[in-house]
Amino acid sequence: MNLIKRENDRFFPKFNNFRKAFSELISDFFNDDFFGTELVKSDWYPKIDVYEKDNVIYVKADLPGIDEKNLNVELEGNILTISGTSEETCEKKEKNYHRIERCYGSFSRSITLPENVDIEKVNAEYKKGVLTVSIPKTKKEDTKKINVKIS
């Protein structure tokens, strides 16, 4: 499993501003003042729980059968992306299937987190098919207020 921390994209800063503004617009529209939009970029995606406890945001994703080496967790700014690949282990043509419900292939799921997350202290653990990502929040006092002098 790879945990990648990135700063905002330096190559497309205008796109990041657009993405952030669009995310805030959708978030406001649906009255979701804690978590913004969820971006899903695949045919299937893992089910997740997102909750906060003791000033830490937890994201739990059900990923049964996915090998740890095929799993990526990336935090860019306040966008958490979980992606990976689920590999099919059998040939369909050898069996007479009556129903196929399990999903295979690649997935990518992104979640907008609050702005005040501490990307230096992110932790990801994969155990028994469940990925748990913990992201501590920074204290409100860590925000620096700048006084603007008007002349």
* Mean pLDDT across 83-105: 73
* Mean pLDDT across 16-22: 69
d(CA 110, CA 138): 21
The whole-number pLDDT of residue 128 equals 93
The whole-number pLDDT of residue 36 equals 45
For residue 131, name the pLDDT band (cuts at 50, 70, 90): very high
* CA-angle at 142, arms to 139 and 145, nearest 5°: 130
The whole-number pLDDT of residue 33 equals 43
Q: Taking a C-beta distance cutoff of 8 angstroms, is the pair 117, 78 a contact?
A: yes
For the chain, helix, strand, coil in percent to 5 are 20, 40, 45
* 2-89+100-138 carries CATH number 3.90.1150.10: no
For residue 86, name the pLDDT band (cuts at 50, 70, 90): confident
Does 60 score more than 90 pLDDT?
yes
Lowest mean pLDDT among 29-33, 58-62, 89-93, 95-99: 29-33
d(CA 77, CA 116): 10
E runs forming strands in the chain: 2-6, 38-40, 48-53, 56-62, 71-76, 79-86, 105-112, 123-127, 130-136
Token digits for 143?
A: 């925000």
Q: Is the dihedral of CA 90, 47, 45, 134 positive or negative?
A: negative
Q: Across the chain, what does the average pLDDT equal? A: 77
The whole-number pLDDT of residue 56 equals 94
The closest alpha carbon to 59, from 115, 127, 123, 103, belongs to: 123
Q: Where are the domains of the chain?
A: 2-89+100-138
Does 122 score more than 60 pLDDT?
yes
